[in-house]
Structure 1
Amino acid sequence: MRNRFPIYVVSKGRADRMITSRTLHYLGIPHFLIVETEEAGVYRTAAAGLGANVLALDPAYKSSYELCDNLGLSKSTGPGPARNFAWDHSVASGHEWHWVMDDNIRSFRRLHLSARIKVSDGAIFRAMEDFVQRYENVAMAGPNYSFFAISDHILPFTLNTRIYSCNLIRNNSPFRWRGRYNEDTILSLDMLKGGFCTILFNAFLQEKMATQVVTGGNTDDFYAVEGTLAKSAMLARVHPDVARVSRKFNRDHHHVDYRSFRRIPLVRSETEAVVEGNDDYGMRLVLSGSDQQIAPCEIPMKPFGRGSGSMQSDAPDCISAPSPMPGCGPFAAA
């Protein structure tokens, strides 16, 4: 089973890597790749055979972009203009939602019994799409980072928090990306302050490369030159009531207090019918390279203890597993 809504990957200076495009190709998912006009030819050559339709960014999106500072086009605009281009392209194509992703996601995973298990098709995207459409006030959703899913008792999703790097966006929500830096957190807060909900899935995860590890993109444009202080300071200026600059992971970072948004309730859609029971969307747990279904208890999985820094599971790669929390997960008729 594949995704229903289009996927856009924003990339710059990484035609020799295209990590997310290769991941999506592995999952059998066609997608769009939005790149700088001057790099379009290089990307089209490099992306041949990856199922990626390369789109050159319209320069007008840079000149009209709300940068949230007074530096204009004297430095990189960041990926925000390309993200808005993806949004408008999706709307023009008649879609109600769209995905937009960073270009450094190594894999997608499903959380099962504390193991973060690699998936090999796009069923998790369809599951997330169907779930958010049950509610009329969800503006954005996406999978959590795999390195944050370390608790044995993590809930299937977290309500009303930030959505990073892999964003499923409702096209008719009255917002657009803005900010030279931290545009994902700015958009999340814009939506929450507008009274909308966001859903961060913990049952489904993205294995994203750490900030500043992959050259190109924001690493070359910003972080390698100026560090991360300007990025964090911008967020604190744009949303000073809930954001401040802090020190995390041995670098300047930001801290956001989302507690005031937790009271925004999900509002069920009257038009979306929900079938009773659990739906695993055809996913099953199998040994890598095998089409034989294996009971979860028959596979040796090493649980992730609290504080584990590992991004990989000792469990074999698989298509997926039964819902980590039957009856209350994204597949339940709740």
Structure 2
Amino acid sequence: MTFRRLQVFWSVAHSTSLTQASKQLGLAQPSVSQQIATLEDIVGSSLFDRRSNTLELTEAGRHLLRHVEKVLESMQALEDGVAEIGDGSRQTVHLAGLNSILRVILPPAMEALHEEFPRVDYDIHESSPAEVLEMLYARRINLGLISSNSIAPASAGFQQVPICVDPYVLAVPRDLDLADVADPRTDLSPEAREVLMRSIQFAFGTQHSKRVQAWYDKVVPGNWPFAQARSFEVALGMVRSGLGVCLAPAMSCVVGGTAIQGVRLYRVDFPARDVVALLPKTYLRTDPYASLIEHLKVAGAHFAPPGLLDTPPFLDTPAAAD
């Protein structure tokens, strides 16, 4: 079942006669008839009812035609795409990054880049920092958007471009108001204090987990590492349900430019994560990547975490809780 035979079949199916199809294809009529006969032998069924000078599709022919049209459309799209890439009118940006960065920083940069390069399209992967590095080394992507805190200081062969600083916040259920809490033991009800003492943590890596747990131990001594999640989005969903509290990057708490509903976000004293673009040095001078990097910097500079509340008193001066 060759591509040429499918083209011949499609032409015959859309013609009133073999004579008309032969003229459109630039083939002799016996050759067209032979192609159709061979295709019928391959599929094991008649594709046309032959009535005097006309051809009508059989049920098998109609079934085959539906699939043939999809094949021909895909082949045309492939040819057009290759031609556009070949003449430089179309390019694909291959990138990967953390969910929150892809949701918050990337879209405005893409919108700005579209004004300069309207024929650029994107192949985007939501990935962990380790996966991003792996894909960069394997040349499956050319750009990674991650936190520099999550990778080794020296990533051989790749350039780190600072994009923005993303502060950490303490996300708590909407019903848990910590604004005037100086000592959780006395200023919170037993039920509210129980929620505060349950930490929902992002399983990121040994060193990061130790830093997070050390922070919890300092500000809420006796806290219970209630759950570990593989993404901040899952952890924040648990917070919204009232299961506990979560120390998270502010960017992960943003949906559509606004803070997620159902939680309170408090400023905290915890080292912010540095969002960077990671790419081979040559791409810093190659468009569309060079322009995309500049637009990412602009988007990063305009990022302002929405809806952050002042640090609760007990986080400024941790109380000695049991």
Taking structure 2 as the reference length, the TM-score comes to 0.24
Query: Larger radius of gyration, structure 1 or 2?
Result: 2
Taking structure 1 as the reference length, the TM-score comes to 0.24
More helix, by proportion: 2
